[in-house]
Amino acid sequence: MKASGTLREYKVVGRLLPSAKNPAPPLYRMRIFAPNHVVAKSRFWYFVSQLRKMKKASGETVYCGLVHEKTPQKVKNFGIWLRYDSRSGTHNMYREYRDLTTSAAVTQCCEYYTHTHTHTHTHTHTHTHTHTHTHTHLITGQDGGLNAPRNIRARH
Query: Band of the pLDDT at 65, cuts 50, 70, 90?
Result: very high
pTM: 0.72
pLDDT band of residue 141 (cuts 50, 70, 90) is very low
What is the pLDDT, as a whole number, of residue 82? Answer: 82
> Could you read off the pLDDT of 76-135 as tens digits, one per residue?
888 888 887 778 888 888 888 888 888 899 888 888 877 776 665 555 666 555 666 554
For residue 106, give the H/E element and its range.
helix 102-117
Contact 99, 106 (CB under 8 A): no
Phi, psi of 73 (to 5 degrees): -90, -10
Q: According to the model, what pLDDT value does residue 146 have? A: 46
What domains are there in the chain, each with its CATH number?
8-66 (3.10.20.10), 76-132 (3.10.20.10)
